[in-house]
Structure 1
Amino acid sequence: NISESATQQQVEEATWVLTALHNEMLSFTSQKLFILVSTVMTWAMTKPQNPDETDVLVSEEQFIRRRPHPAFRKHHSLEKLVLNLKKSKLAGYVVASGLQYGKGEDLFHYFFKVSWLMEFPKVPIFGHGTNYIPTIHVSDLGGVIQNIIQLRPRPKYIVAIDNSRNTLEDIVQMISHALGPEEIQKLPPQEAIVMKAFKPEELECLGINLRLETFIINDFFNLSWTSEAGMVENMDNIVQEYKDAWQLLPIRILLLGPPAVGKTTLAGKLCHHYRLHQIKLKEVLEEKIAQLEIVNGPNPENISQEIMTAAQTQLGNIHKSMKENQGRLVDRLLFEIVEEKLNSKPCKNQGFVLDGFPKTYEQAKMIFSDVNVDEDAGKEDLALMSKAPAYKQAIAPEYVFALDASDDFLTRRVQGLPENVAEKMRYTQDEFVPRLTKHRQLSGAEETVCDYFDQIEIHPLHIDDPEYTDIMKMITRVVGPPKNYGLSPEEQEEQDQKKEEERRQKRSAEAAERKLRNEAVLAEMAAQYEDWQKNLSEVTRQESEQLEVQALPLRNYLMKYVMPSLTEAMVKCSEIKPEDPVDFLVFKKNPFQQNYLC
């Protein structure tokens, strides 16, 4: 496979493989088949035979006339090597593949990603976008290769493209419509490099302008097409394949609980962790009114008269309802706005966290049930709703968490808030107590909002922890890991820097700890040495005393029997001064015939 995403090294490796097989061909006991999956970029510079006929398709039969893009000349050379295999023991086929799509995308991945993330109000397209791009689904390309293996067709050069005639603008517009903001914006090609959207070689592929006519795969092959009509006509299936391949699954969470229990704070943390959208009724309503006012403004952009009329009617109904109900919107209009928000592209792509709404069984039923009932609904519709277990799976939450705490705990929490915060969050004494009382009444009703979700087999997880220890960890363990692209390059770089800083601090802390341990060991050794010296002195003293005690009887004997005679003999010796004092003291007798020592 040396199609559009292959590197020059892979092309060189394929050339080496072909050369090695050719050199060993005589030793083959049976025929070998070499299939080179190349790219239509080897046709990129091919012009019609008649330059004046710009609308004429280039036929597959004219492959000898093909002219490659300068960056794909090695591909072209390798194609010719394969086509020159004439020996019976090594057969070669070249498959010129259109730009591939499906099963996760490669070249078109950027457009899918920015559309899914809704990073821009308009999906950027680089260049004029009017160029025709030959494409093929990867599954259909696999089918072409399978047919070559099974049928061994006579033509050795096969163009593998679908039957579409789509421009780059057509493709990106449809991606944006299916996944993103539904609008595109044309930018100069160099902006793609600045924005790090594409590499130069990828831009060259997207810039191909070629309309090919193929007949081999249509007339001779038995293909079970996945996307015969091309990307634009099969975008819904391709988008689903893309989501499945990247595991881009929306996470829908509902948080319930009394006021001041921490729903909004927890919702914010969950949205940050999972990259979800926090749905708060007040903000949703304000956002919708602002959108309607823009549509009804003096200079709306590209908006039909029909849409403007509908927006004006809806805005009028909202203002009228709020005026008649002391600033509150009737449930029917409110539910329409909430459902529209839950069905919006961001919520359908990434998911959402519903912050404390719906509050009652009836509200949950009206929003998520498959049967829409307004305020004037009859008993027949209500009976139908009560029997129908079906619900709107596309917008219903997958996980419901019911938080709770004692009234005393909630009251103490509210009393500890600054006055300006309490007023902003409607936690003043006059507002908080009625809200808490109403919540307790709704929780004690015959049918509660949790009962509704139990009925549709989405069982709420009740969390009653006054201190709220490890709630985030508990919920993320239930919900699982994030199901999105993960961190952006900037966020990844920031996280890497943070981890590096943490590692540096950890190393510094470990070094400081080692230093403290060493100092403690040295201090302990010094103290032990000092104790040893003291003990040694004491032992020496005790040994001296012991020796003195042991030597006392001998000393007494010497002083009584030896020292008197020895002293007298020494005196005589000093008087006489004999030549041999030792002999004199030991063996000689004094003039008085006395032995001095014996």
Structure 2
Amino acid sequence: MLEIDSLRVNLRLDGVLVRELFEVNWRYESGLVTNIEQMVEEYRQIRGLEPVRVCVLGPPAVGKTTVSKLIAEHYKIHHLTVKDTIAETISRLEEAVKEPESEESATEAQELLNNLKDSMEQSGGSLDEQLLVKLMKEKLMSNPCRNQGYVLDGVPETYDQAKELFSDSETEVSGTNVPSAKITPEFVLCLDAPDEILQDRVMNMPEGLGEHSTVYELFLQRLSKYRDDNKGDEAEDFFDELDIPSTCREITNDDEPDSMMLMQMVTDAVGKPRNYGPTNLEMEEEERRKTEEKMRRENQQRVQEEQKEIEEARQRAVRWEEWRKGLEQVRQQEQDLLEAQSAPMKNYLMEHVMPTLTKGLIECCMEQPLDPVDFLAEYLFKNNPYDAEVTSLTLTDLDQKEEDEEKDKEEVEVEGEEEEEEEADCSDED
């Protein structure tokens, strides 16, 4: 047998040794298909993907659909209305009748389709309450609504309808009729308005606006039925009994309700979206946005640094120019002070010394003696321009002054000797 033939062998291995040697607690030992619901629940819990379930209640024409669409768009959940659910169910049943999986399923689909059409013909376009609750409950139990969430638009309308719609199918058999935690809404928004405002709003609506564009008489019938059904226990009472958070808003004018304010009330109660993760496109968009933001910050930081460097260079240049001007000013002041202090000496030398000294230097250069210093000194003594008597007098005075200083010094010495002799005599007497 070639080695490649071993790859074609269809071997079905059984983990006998694994079960015998190891104690393994299998979570889904029976397989994925059998335990798909548990796996989905575990997946959602681990990743924090919890469905968002909201219910919007109120009389006809109060503005439920407008707010419901905003909620569905914000949380990316399914917008459930009676009209759309009926149309979707009829379309699905017709498709099942045309292409049946089996004869039995085709018969059941045809029977349910006939019941729906008969009920709508008898009720003037609306369904029997039991059929309506059945269709809406099937929609709520569908995987998209259970895993992602929903916003119910105008359903339920009465207390009994709410009790039947949100009851657990397993408890219905036993007769306890306990609400199902998988489909019960977590927040209820109740809208209401006086009948006069609702009537004026419907009368002023243009045609072609869905359920709110019905004729005035049909609207009055629906409004009258809604008021009669809620004279006793209302649908809101059912949610209050379950301690489900709810908010009621009264519309007091003909204008459209403040949708943004209502949305803020819903988001404050429900919180941020938690029923989905970002798609690949959203992650790419977020990554691109972060990259662009990072580049923008870097460019801004670079521009700021360049501007800072330019400003610092300008300030350095200004400070350097100020320092240079100050230094130049100080130098000029020192030069002026030096010239002012040296002017008398300069004038004295130019007047009394330089003429004779210049002549002596010229004569020295001409004669070029062996001892130029002695020659210059002798020349200055011989050619002193001042009177010789004054000069001799000056010298005599100097000699006399020296003699006087010597005499004073001798007298001081003599006095010191006399004082020492007196002190010696006194000590001898003692």
What TM-score does the superposition give when structure 1 sets the normalisation length?
Answer: 0.43
In 2, Cα distance between equivalents of 1:503 and 1:420:
50
Summarize the Cα distance change of 1:54–1:420 in structure 2 as closer, same or farther, 3 Å threshold: same
Letter in 2 for 1:319: K
Please tell me the residue identity of whatever aligns with 2:235: V
1:529-568 → structure 2 map (5 Å cutoff): none
1:340 aligns with 2:127: no
The alpha-carbon distance between structure 1 residues 413 and 393, as it changes in their structure 2 partners (threshold 3 A), is same
Quote the residue 2:184 is aligned against: 396
Distance 2:74 2:224 in 1: 33
RMSD, aligned CA: 3.8
* Other structure's SS at 1:452 match: helix
TM superposition shift of 1:434? 3.9
Kindly report which structure 2 residues correspond to 1:562-577, keeping only aligned pairs within 5 A, or say none: none
Letter in 1 for 2:104: E
Residue 275 (structure 2) pairs with residue 484 (structure 1): yes
Q: 1:429 to 1:306 in 2, by over 3 A?
A: closer
Q: Structure 1 residues 262 and 499, CA, compared in 2 at 3 Å: closer, same or farther?
A: farther
Q: How does 1:107-146 map to 2 (within 5 A)?
A: none
Shift of 1:261: 1.8
Q: Find the counterpart in structure 1 of residue 9 from structure 2.
A: 54
In structure 2, what residue type is equivalent to 1:436? L
2:64 pairs with one of 257, 263, 266:
263
Once the 2 structures are TM-superposed, how far is the Cα of residue 292 of structure 1 from its aligned partner?
Answer: 1.1
Partner secondary structure for residue 420 of structure 1: coil
1:355-395 Cα shifts (integer Å, max 9, x gaps): 10111122222222347999xxxxxx9xx97xx46212222
- For residues 89 and 34 of structure 2, the distance between their equivalents in structure 1, rounded to whole angstroms, comes to 32
Matched residues in 2 for 1:328 and 1:213: separation? 58
Distance 2:169 2:32 in 1: 35
1:440 to 227, 231, 235: 227
2: CA distance, partners of 1:478 / 1:465:
20
TM-score norm. by structure 2 comes to: 0.58
2:167 matched residue in structure 1 = 369
**C-alpha separation between the residues in 2 aligned to 1:315 and 1:233?**
31
Distance 1:326 1:461, change over 3 A: same
Alignment deviations for residues 439-468 of structure 1 (CA, whole Å, 9 cap, x no partner): 33434x121111222233335322235453
**Structure 1 residue 233, shift from structure 2 partner:** 5.1
Structure 1 contact 414–422 (Cα < 8 Å) conserved: no
> Relative to structure 1, is the Cα distance of residues 462 and 295 closer, same or farther in structure 2, using a 3 angstrom cutoff?
same
Partner of 1:169: none
Separation in structure 1 between the aligned mates of residue 197 and residue 160 of structure 2, nearest angstrom: 29
More displaced, 450-459 or 246-255?
450-459
Q: Percent identity?
A: 35
SS of the aligned residue for 2:248 comes to strand
Per the alignment, residue 317 of structure 2 pairs with none
1:245 aligns with 2:46: yes
Residues 424 and 369 (structure 1), Cα distance of their counterparts in 2 relative to 1, 3 Å cut: closer
Distance in 1 (CA, whole Å) between partners of 2:291 and 2:199 is 43
Consecutive unaligned residues in structure 2, runs of 5 or more: 296-430
Matched, 1:354 2:160: no
Structure 1 distance, partners of 2:103, 2:213, is: 41
Q: CA deviation at 1:500?
A: 9.8
Q: Larger % of strand: which? A: 1
**SS of alignment partner, residue 144 of structure 2:** helix
Partner-residue secondary structure (3-state), 1:425? helix
Rounded Cα–Cα distance in structure 1 between residues aligned with 2:289 and 2:215: 40
Q: Are the structure 2 counterparts of residues 496 and 415 from structure 1 closer, same or farther at C-alpha, using a change threshold of 3 Å?
A: farther
Query: For the residues of structure 1 that align with 2:195 and 2:131, how far apart are their CA atoms?
Result: 33
Pair 288,389 (structure 1): closer, same or farther in 2 beyond 3 Å: closer
Q: CA deviation at 1:270?
A: 0.9
CA 494–437 in structure 1, closer or farther in 2 if over 3 Å, else same:
farther
Amino acid at match of 2:137: E
Q: Secondary structure at the match of 2:226?
A: helix
Task: Determine the C-alpha separation between the residues in 1 that align with 2:108 and 2:35.
Answer: 31
1:50–1:229 distance in 2 versus 1, CA, 3 Å: farther
**1:405 aligned partner:** 193
**Alpha-carbon distance in 1 for matches of 2:37, 2:116:** 34
> Relative to 1, partners in 2 of residues 1:421 and 1:499: Cα closer, same or farther, differing over 3 Å?
farther
Cα 1:267–1:495 shift into 2, 3 Å: farther
Q: SS at 1:354's partner residue?
A: strand
**1:436-515 maps to which residues of 2 (within 5 A)?**
436-443=223-230, 445-464=231-250, 466=252, 467-468=257-258, 470-492=261-283
Q: Give the match's secondary structure for 1:461.
A: strand
In terms of fraction of residues, the more helix-rich structure is 2
Deviations 1:280-313 (A, max 9, x none): 111111111111111222xx16x11111111111
Distance 1:239 1:424 in 2: 37
Q: Does 1:276 align with 2:64?
A: no
